[in-house]
Structure 1
């Protein structure tokens, strides 16, 4: 047998061994996982929002928005739309925010420059695609309850409790 095939196999095995050692010696980070598997979230419930600061219009904002996951402490997508008196867009700002930044949505009156701002928040992956243009659009839209205490009481438990109290009061009389 000629020495070339044996030498080629030896070089190839040496290269593969070196590559395996290099791969095994480096730990993957969250950024690596997201880069290699874009559909994989860096944490459970991870989501993305369109993100821009003072873009000239919605198209430019959405077109150039970085494709990054929101930080863990944020839960909503925020949009601020600044319009001139005739309804033309002056600027668009979009970002990931915590609930505190979503408590005052709606539209403002005209300012001294004749501009009006409408802000909206939404919950969900890239849900802030459209712009709020009026009071109907400028809302805080959630898909889950904001506060667990706002959920109605469990009626079977409440009914059972009322029945037991009623029976106790009836037996006393």
Structure 2
């Protein structure tokens, strides 16, 4: 049997309101977008690029590049992280360049190694965030990494979609519990007033 808690009835409306706010936030599926300049509708949200690459230009070695790389998301239209590595005849780094790149900058004919005079230049491209941490040094690692397969992305998106549903179920259960507590408190309050 529930015991009377004098602090519970004043909190019930506040708890119910908070539950409704959480439910309304969880059920709204689309983000709000600003109206267009003409006011004739809504403009779609800007595309988001979830790729982030190490970024540095004309740095003397890979350690310095990665240590002091600028960390910002790649702009829309770039789908690769690209690394250019120039080495001397002993294999020591001379120049390292890393940045976000387009499909055209990472075509198969623009990736690989090239020996010129006393320097070797290697270029590699990859698709996942921070995948350009190592530098290419030879033909085996100066490659264009293939795109991830569709099932990998489908599994990730299914897991991401399940989280809001779980939160919605938890919020609904919390709301139901609040209603049960309110009903029990009301019954107890009524039975207490009858005894007086």
Shorter-chain TM-score: what band? Answer: 0.5 to 0.7
Show the counterpart of 2:145: 141
Q: Name the SS of the counterpart of 2:66 in structure 1.
A: helix
Q: 1:107 aligns with which of 83, 90, 113?
A: 113
Q: 1:62 aligns with which of 62, 66, 89?
A: 66
Counterparts of 1:100 and 1:53, CA distance in 2: 19
Show the counterpart of 1:171: none
* Larger RCO of the pair (alpha carbons < 8 Å, separation 6+): 2
Show the counterpart of 1:83: 87
| Residue pair 1:81, 1:91 contacting (<8 A) in 2 also | yes
TM-score normalised per structure 2: 0.50
> Is 2:127 aligned against 1:123?
yes
| Residue pair 1:46, 1:72 contacting (<8 A) in 2 also | no
Q: Name the SS of the counterpart of 1:141 in structure 2.
A: coil
4+ residue runs over 6 A deviation: none
Cα deviation, residue 56, structure 1:
0.6
Aligned length in residues: 102
Structure 2: unaligned runs, 5 residues or longer? 1-45, 150-196
Cα deviation, residue 46, structure 1:
1.4
Counterparts of 1:44 and 1:70, CA distance in 2: 9
TM-score normalised per structure 1: 0.56
The correspondence of residues 15-54 of structure 1 with structure 2, limited to 5 A, is 43-54=47-58
| Residue pair 2:48, 2:76 contacting (<8 A) in 1 also | no
Counterparts of 1:63 and 1:144, CA distance in 2: 27
